[in-house]
Chains A and B, each alone.
Chain A
Amino acid sequence: MKFQRPEFLILFIVLAIFYLYVRRKKKISIGLGAVKFYELSTPKFRKYLLAAPEVLLYLILVFSIISSSGFSLSSRYREVYLPGIDVMIIFDISRSMAAEDFAPRNRFEIARTVVEEFIKKREVDRIGLAAFAGAPLLICPLTLDKNFLISSLNALKIGEIEDGTAIGLAIAEGVSDLQSSKTSKVMILLTDGMNNRGEISPIDAAKMAEEAGIKIYTIGVGKKGKAKIPIEAGIGMTYIEKEVSIDEKTLERVAEITGGRYFRAENPQALKTIFKEIDSLEKGEIRVKTEARFRPIYNELDLLIAILFLLWLFLRAIPVEIP
Chain B
Amino acid sequence: MNLPDYILEAIKRIEIISRKKVSEIFGGEYRSVFKGRGIEVEEVREYEPGDDTRTIDWKTSARRGSLYVKKFREERELSLYLVIDSSLSLDFGIPMRKREKAAEAAALLSLAALVNNDKVGLLTFGEKKGKFVPPGKGRGHFLRIIREVLVERDYGKETRIGEALSWVYRVAKKRGVVIVISDFYTESSFLKELKLVSRKHDFIGIWVRERAEARLDRISPFYGEDLESGVYSHLWPRPSVLKELFMKYESGIRTIFKRAGAGLIEIFTDQPAYIPIEKYFRRKA
B224:A33 contact, CB within 8 angstroms: no
**A41 interface neighbour in B229, B234, B245, Cβ under 8 Å:** B245
Within 8 A of B (CB), among A286-323: 318-323
- Across the two chains, which residue of chain B brings its CB closest to A28? B223
The complex places the Cα of A322 from the Cα of B235 at a distance, in Å, of 12
Number of interface residues of A (CB under 8 A): 29
Flag whether B42 is at the interface (Cβ < 8 A). Answer: no
B window 38-89: CB within 8 A of A = 87-89
Question: Closest Cβ of chain A: how far from B3's Cβ, in Å?
Answer: 22
**Smallest Cβ-Cβ distance to B98: which chain A residue:** A33
Asked if A27 is at the interface of the complex by the 8 Å CB criterion, the answer is yes
Are B235 and A42 closer than 8 Å at their CB atoms?
yes
Point out the residue from A33, A39, A50, A51 that lies within 8 Å of B90, measured CB to CB: A33
B231 interface neighbour in A35, A37, A43, A323, Cβ under 8 Å: A35
Q: Answer whether residue B2 sits at the interface, using C-beta atoms and an 8 A cutoff.
A: no
A296 to B239, CA, bound (A): 50
B224→A35 contact, CB < 8 A:
yes
Q: B95 contacts which chain A residues (CB < 8 A)? A: none
CA distance A320 to B220 in the complex (A): 6
Number of interface residues of B (CB under 8 A): 38
Contact status A29-B241, CB under 8 Å: no
Least distance between B160 CB and chain A CB atoms (Å): 15
Query: Which B residues touch A319, using CB under 8 A?
Result: 220-221
On whether the beta carbons of B245 and A40 are closer than 8 Å, the reply is yes
Say yes or no: is B242 at the interface (Cβ < 8 Å to chain A). Answer: yes
**Bound Cα distance from A31 to B234, whole angstroms:** 12
Task: Establish whether residues B242 and A37, one from each chain, have CB atoms under 8 Å apart when the complex forms.
Answer: yes
Is B246's beta carbon under 8 Å from chain A? Answer: yes
Known: A29-B232, A42-B235. A35 touches B220 (CB 8 A): no
**In angstroms, how far is the closest chain B Cβ from the Cβ of A78?**
50
Known: A35-B231, A37-B245. A30 touches B223 (CB 8 A): yes
Give the complex CA separation of A322 and B224 in angstroms: 10
A38, CB-defined interface residue at 8 Å: yes
Q: How far is the CB of A34 from chain B (nearest CB, A)?
A: 5
8 A Cβ contacts from B205-241 to A = 210, 213-214, 218, 220-229, 231-239, 241
B132 at the interface (CB under 8 A from A): no
B185 at the interface (CB under 8 A from A): yes
Q: Name the B residues within 8 Å of A43 (CB-CB).
A: 236, 238
B92 within 8 A of A: yes
Instruction: Assess whether B245 is in contact with A321, with CB atoms less than 8 Å apart.
Output: no
Chain B minimum-CB-distance residue to A49: B236
Q: Is the CB of A33 within 8 A of B89?
A: yes
Question: Are the CB atoms of B236 and A33 closer together than 8 Å?
Answer: no
> Which residues of B line the A interface, CB within 8 A?
87-92, 98, 183, 185, 210, 213-214, 218, 220-229, 231-239, 241-242, 244-246, 249
21 A-B pairs with C-beta separation under 8 A: A26-B232, A29-B224, A32-B227, A33-B90, A33-B183, A33-B185, A33-B210, A34-B213, A35-B229, A36-B185, A39-B233, A40-B241, A40-B245, A41-B239, A41-B242, A41-B245, A46-B221, A46-B234, A47-B234, A49-B236, A51-B234
Q: Which 4 A-B pairs have the closest CB atoms?
A: A33-B89, A50-B234, A41-B241, A41-B237
Residues of chain A having any CB pair with chain B under 8 Å: 26-43, 46-47, 49-51, 318-323
